[in-house]
A and B are shown apart, each in its own frame.
Chain A
């Protein structure tokens, strides 16, 4: 999680990382570190750990997609009035194994 990511970011605005890298932003949105939480993709039913979601950054917001079907599960936008969180693509998100 060091310089290579930054290089990709400069080269390709649609950088793909995983949910680990979005942990800080997610913590700001949820008020807790949710990288080890699990949720179910409403598109395909796959249960994933947040850390393994595909994360697309570089646009106006951050989009997290299901690693199996690539459906959008969580979106976070940073606005002048704060963070806007849309998690309609992720069911039963919570801690636990």
Chain B
């Protein structure tokens, strides 16, 4: 059995478009002990001259799908890895992967709830693994996803989120669109702030566990806001990316 820190060769089993700039890749791992929702894998690309580059990608799929794991990747035009994944990689290709990694930003049913998941942009990916696992597991605590996107076309997993939220015991899903709203939009239309957090937290109550993933500024706003609203810091888990102070 490969340990999580060993590199192994995964085969790309499927590729799926999520939005015009976001694509999911199903990786079939030859040696996979399973993962916990919220964990990530490292991907390593090596050029012919030996230059190699690594990136971390959250696992989007639920553990029940092992040994397949999905990663969801936004195409960044000046990136080193994502243009390769989007423009070059096809089904049947092989990629170096290690993981699963991470023991902190993780949720499993025994941890309980209620659950408040807060995402900015592609920060929704590890939270989607939690929602997908929750849909196939018991117990199923009351759960709300608050998800900030720039515009309607940039909502990742939009149809699946709608289906999940419509199911019995399904999660509540609250969208905020910060830059572009379609005509007749009834969701939030501003950056996540404390009044918004208060509204989504109120029905869940003071025993809520919170997970926030996204750009650093969003995660800081969420973590600080939830503490001011009375959640103990140890019930708030964060995963952030991007520079501080923006």
Contact = CB atoms under 8 A, between A and B. Distances in A.
B40 A4 contact: no
Interface string A10-35: 11101111111101100110010101
A42 interface: no
Given A5-B55, A51-B105, A20 B239 contact: yes
Interface residues of A, number: 33
Nearest to B55: A6
A49 interface: yes
Interface stretch (B75-83, B132-140, B141-149): B75-83
Nearest to B98: A24
B101 A24 contact: yes
A1 B57 contact: yes
B201 interface: no
B42 interface: yes
A50 interface: yes
Nearest to A5: B241
Interface string B1-30: 000110000000000000000100000000
B76 A6 contact: yes
Contact of B42 (A24, A51, A52): A24
Contacts of A28: 5
B55 A51 contact: no
B104 A2 contact: no
A41 B236 CA distance: 21
A84 interface: no
Contact of A23 (B71, B101, B125): B101
Interface in B54-102: 54-58, 71-76, 78-82, 98-99, 101-102
Interface of B: 4-5, 22, 40, 42, 54-58, 71-76, 78-82, 98-99, 101-105, 121-123, 125-126, 213, 215-216, 238-244
Given A2-B73, A16-B242, A10 B101 contact: no
A6 B104 contact: no
A59 interface: no
Interface of A: 1-12, 14-21, 23-24, 27-28, 31, 33, 35-36, 49-52, 54
A43 to B, nearest CB: 18
A42 to B, nearest CB: 21
Nearest to A11: B78
A78 to B, nearest CB: 10
Contacts of A15: 242-243
A1 B125 contact: yes
Contacts of B78: 7, 10-11
Given A18-B238, A20-B102, A54-B244, 16 more contacts: A1-B126, A3-B73, A4-B76, A4-B215, A5-B242, A7-B78, A8-B242, A10-B80, A15-B243, A16-B242, A19-B104, A21-B56, A24-B42, A24-B98, A24-B99, A51-B104
